[in-house]
Amino acid sequence: MTDDPRLTPLAASLPPSVPFVGPEELERRRGAPFRARLGANESTFGPSPRAVEAMARAASEGWKYGDSTSHDLRAAIARHHGVDAAHVLVGEGIDGLLGLLVRLVVTHETPVVTSAGAYPTFNYHVAGFGGALHTVPFRNDHEDPEALAAKTRETGARLVYISNPDNPMGSWHDAATIAALAEALPEGALLILDEAYADFAPPEAIPPMTPEDPRVIRMRTFSKAHGLAGLRVGYAIGPAPLIAAFDRVRNHFGMTRPGQAGALAALEDRDWLASVVAQVAAARARISDIAAGSGLSALPSATNFVAVDCGGDGTLSRAVLDELATRGVFVRMPGVAPLDRCIRISCGRPEDLDVLEEVFPASLAAARNR
């Protein structure tokens, strides 16, 4: 219905595409479940048992709408980071928060800057509100803060996106580099610092919290280290007036009760988090070993995934990805060159990586013989 005259001109102009095809949809297409689900940077280690228990309890109270202010969770997050709750907004995952932020800032042809190959869902939101997306290339498999700042000055961008640690390459910058990026931005620009993978990063990669800084909004999620991707809980930390502005457009009763309860319990279970982070570190090393066993190299990673350089171009990587899928392993890959010489493998449990180890050499060989 691109020709439905009732759609706005913007809506009519949008492509019917989707940012990602989900693993269940891929499973339906291939007619069998995956043996190892290592494509969406989910935490196969699962959520904290305390979070599972809290969610099960919340299920029987599911007849109640969730607390519209996520008061208890928001307060706990604020305490955890040592900031006032006025600087914290809980929302339906970083995806949901990015959509709201773009809606607040972006209208017809508003310039926005990101890196070519960075998070597609952010780009989807920018397109969805009519913004003009400008990209700069990665540099040595890192997002390039200097180029992002220069492009922002050049285009007069209102929003600048960076993820640190980075998705899809797993690379990272130190806190001083991120702080310098904020300093280098012209007035009127807002830096989105996506820290979805912060829990896996070395401490020196994470800037101290300065939530009153009007130039930066940071985003965190319970989808990665906390293992709650299917509960849709993320949060933003930023200047109080900007945080308050979300109240003008958000779905006030949009949070689920199990999500609120699960995230609160997960936040409090520091032992589980530490255990997951340790298991992820071990999995990173093993994925690197599996790659080396086939003569490939893995990039250093500060996340719960590893970019493995397949040694060719995007066509080869795509073939490796397809051959892995044929053998029951779901992984993904970056969308642009030269990042797409890599495939991106999420850190799974030993049993998940056993499957990867089993099928990787044959998948690579088959891809090379195509």
User: Which residues, 161 to 190, sit near its own copies by CB under 8 A?
Assistant: 188-190
Q: Please give the DSSP secondary-structure letter assigned to residue 213.
A: -
Does 211 participate in binding its own copies (rule CB under 8 A)?
no
Q: Which residues contact 215 (CB under 8 A, 6 or more apart)?
A: 182, 185, 189, 190, 191
From candidates 79, 139, 252, 370, binder to its own copies by CB under 8 A: 252
CB of 29 to its own copies, least distance (A): 11
By CB under 8 A, the residues from 265 to 324 that bind its own copies are none
Burial of 211 (0-12, 13-18, 19+ CB in 10 A): buried
By CB under 8 A, the residues from 121 to 150 that bind its own copies are 128
Beta-bridge partners for 194: 163, 219
Does 19 participate in binding its own copies (rule CB under 8 A)?
yes
CB of 140 to its own copies, least distance (A): 30
Does 55 participate in binding its own copies (rule CB under 8 A)?
yes
Q: Helices 270-293 & 49-60, crossing angle to 10 degrees?
A: 120
Burial of 290 (0-12, 13-18, 19+ CB in 10 A): buried
CB of 298 to its own copies, least distance (A): 23
Does 361 participate in binding its own copies (rule CB under 8 A)?
no
Does 203 participate in binding its own copies (rule CB under 8 A)?
no
Q: How far apart are CA 333 and CA 319, in angstroms?
A: 11
CB of 335 to its own copies, least distance (A): 16
From candidates 31, 32, 63, 208, binder to its own copies by CB under 8 A: 63
Does 67 participate in binding its own copies (rule CB under 8 A)?
yes
Distance of CA 22 to the CA centre of its chain: 15
From candidates 76, 113, 205, 242, binder to its own copies by CB under 8 A: 242
From candidates 35, 40, 318, 336, binder to its own copies by CB under 8 A: 40
Q: How far apart are CA 175 and CA 205, in angstroms?
A: 5
How many other CB atoms are there within 10 angstroms of residue 128's CB atom? 15
Does 32 participate in binding its own copies (rule CB under 8 A)?
no
Select 219 or 316, whichever has its Cβ closest to its own copies. Answer: 219
Map tokens 């439905």 to a residue: 4
